[in-house]
Each structure stands twice: as structure tokens, then as C-alpha cells.
Structure 1
Amino acid sequence: MASLKEKLIALVAEEEATGPNNKIIVVGIGHVGMACDISILAKSLADELALVDA
């Protein structure tokens, strides 16, 4: 049976990637840019994500 600590504290971060670092830059943070950002984050496609508003 799980302890109270194990029930209350859950793993939040995924394990560190062992492969190459993926960096993505999204230019424009309007509706389309934010939709792209959310999709990238939801699919865990990048280790680093930069947002640039030109």
C-alpha cells in the first residue's frame, strides 16, 4: 500500500532526455504561434522552446 507521501507527491518532470537537444524557435506569438507552442509542448517535441515576437 502506498504511503501518504507517495499519494500526495507525484512525479512532475519527465526524465532527462538522453538523445540530442532539440531547440525550436517560434516567430510570432499571436493565435497561430501560441497554438504551435501548445502543440509542441503537448507532444514533448523540444527540449528548449523560444518565443519571438517580431
Structure 2
Amino acid sequence: MKNSKRYLLIGLGMILIAIVFIAYALGHPEASFPWSNNITYIIYMTYLVLVIYFVSK
């Protein structure tokens, strides 16, 4: 029970970080990553899978 609550808090924290990141990105469209979009999409998908894992655990 204790670990599941910890995983939920980690997942919710990750969702909060994602919301802050999206808000920043929408306000600064001139910023970009120094690598290709494929790497960025892989990072985003990995992050999404981890969020789903932590929230559903």
C-alpha cells in the first residue's frame, strides 16, 4: 500500500512537470532542442509510458 501511494505521487508529480513544460513551451515557441524530432518524440513517448506506469501502479 505504501509503495502504491509513492508511485501515484511520482506519477502525479510527472504530470505536473509536463503541464509546466507545455505551458513554458507554448509561451516560448522560439526555443528548441539541439537534436532531431525523432529523438524528441522518443523522449516524449518514454515519459508518457512512465507516467502511465506510475499512475496505474
How does the TM-score come out when normalised to structure 1? 0.31
Higher relative contact order (CA 8 A, sep 6+): 2
More helix by share: 2
